[in-house]
Structure 1
Amino acid sequence: MNGSAHPSPGTVDIKLKRGSAGLGFNIVGGVDQQYVVNDNGIYVSKLKEDGAAALDGRLQEGDKILAINGVALENLTHRATVDLFRTAGEHVELRVLKKFPNHVNGPTGSRPEPNPPVSSLEVLVALGAVVAVCAVLFMRLRKKHF
């Protein structure tokens, strides 16, 4: 693709044959719709079950698509990239930068902090505390009436 014999580290070339449902994945990103902070790239957002990409197995959600049939996707809008995919033909070659294992997509701070799960021990301690408070209140009320 584009004259380079070997992809750079972390990139792979993937050839897909368009099926009845297209290539079988959705994309996000572009210069007009940044998906990753300070990155205008195009990313795979979803693989369609039984689509050409899912059946091939190499393309994954979160991968960055660098080129389609040798055409670099740098500085393209989302719409222009979609148009490239639509006119790419039956056999499509993608140059893909594989996602990093700890890569987080989306703007920084856009995801809520996960709440840690509550353990059974914590629930039992809380219930024990409630029972103890109720017992103390009950005993105080009982002493006042006798």
Structure 2
Amino acid sequence: MNGTMRNTPTVSEINLKRGPAGLGFNIVGGVDQQYMLNDSGIYVAKIKENGAAALDGRLQEGDKILEINGEKLESLSHNAAVMLFRSAGEDVKLLVERGGSAPVNGPSRVRPDNESPAYTLGILGFAMATAVVLACVYVRFRPHIRKHF
């Protein structure tokens, strides 16, 4: 989906009933994490298999969500949009736009709901610390290694 173009947009209403795993899709975008060039909207990143959205069949990856239960999503941060989805209740009405003309600007891999930026930074920090320890061990024992050759 990265770098693709879209055609004439269409807007439709989709009603979903929240299942055991929520609404069954991940979102990307927001004013703080633009997914489309010059567009801070909220987009469907991934439809989860056997989730409410997949079972309904109308929502598709790449759709722009304009409203949830009548509340507009424009000008929201990503986290504010996530909180709005989580507090939307059991019966959820989405106003969805499919199509458009802006090329995709976002990452080709979407971060799962349960993977926060802090988690990613923690993994990066752990990898860097491991590299430093290995470098120190190498420098400390390097003279001994050379003596054996």
**Structure 2 portions without partners, runs of 5+:** 1-8, 109-149
Residue 39 of structure 1 aligns with an amino acid whose one-letter code is D
Percent of pairs identical after alignment?
64
Aligned pairs for 1:80-119 within 5 A: 80-100=80-100, 104-106=103-105
- CA shift, 1:106, in A, is 1.8
Taking the aligned partners of 1:26 and 1:11, their CA distance within structure 2 comes to 20
Match of 1:51 in 2: 51
Taking the aligned partners of 1:33 and 1:92, their CA distance within structure 2 comes to 24
Q: Which has the larger radius of gyration?
A: 1
Higher relative contact order (CA 8 A, sep 6+): 2
Match of 1:76 in 2: 76
- CA shift, 1:104, in A, is 4.1
Match of 2:60 in 1: 60
| Aligned alpha-carbon RMSD (Å) | 1.8
- CA shift, 1:33, in A, is 0.2
Secondary structure of the residue aligned to 1:46 is: strand
**Structure 1 portions without partners, runs of 5+:** 1-8, 112-146
Q: Deviations over 1:65-124 (max 9, x none)?
A: 000000000100000000000100000000000135x864225xx88xxxxxxxxxxxxx
Secondary structure of the residue aligned to 1:38 is: coil
Taking the aligned partners of 2:11 and 2:39, their CA distance within structure 1 comes to 17
For the 8 Å contact 1:25–1:51, the answer to whether it is kept is yes
For the 8 Å contact 1:29–1:78, the answer to whether it is kept is yes
Taking the aligned partners of 1:85 and 1:36, their CA distance within structure 2 comes to 20
Match of 1:29 in 2: 29
Q: What is the TM-score of this pair, normalised by structure 2?
A: 0.63
Taking the aligned partners of 1:39 and 1:103, their CA distance within structure 2 comes to 8
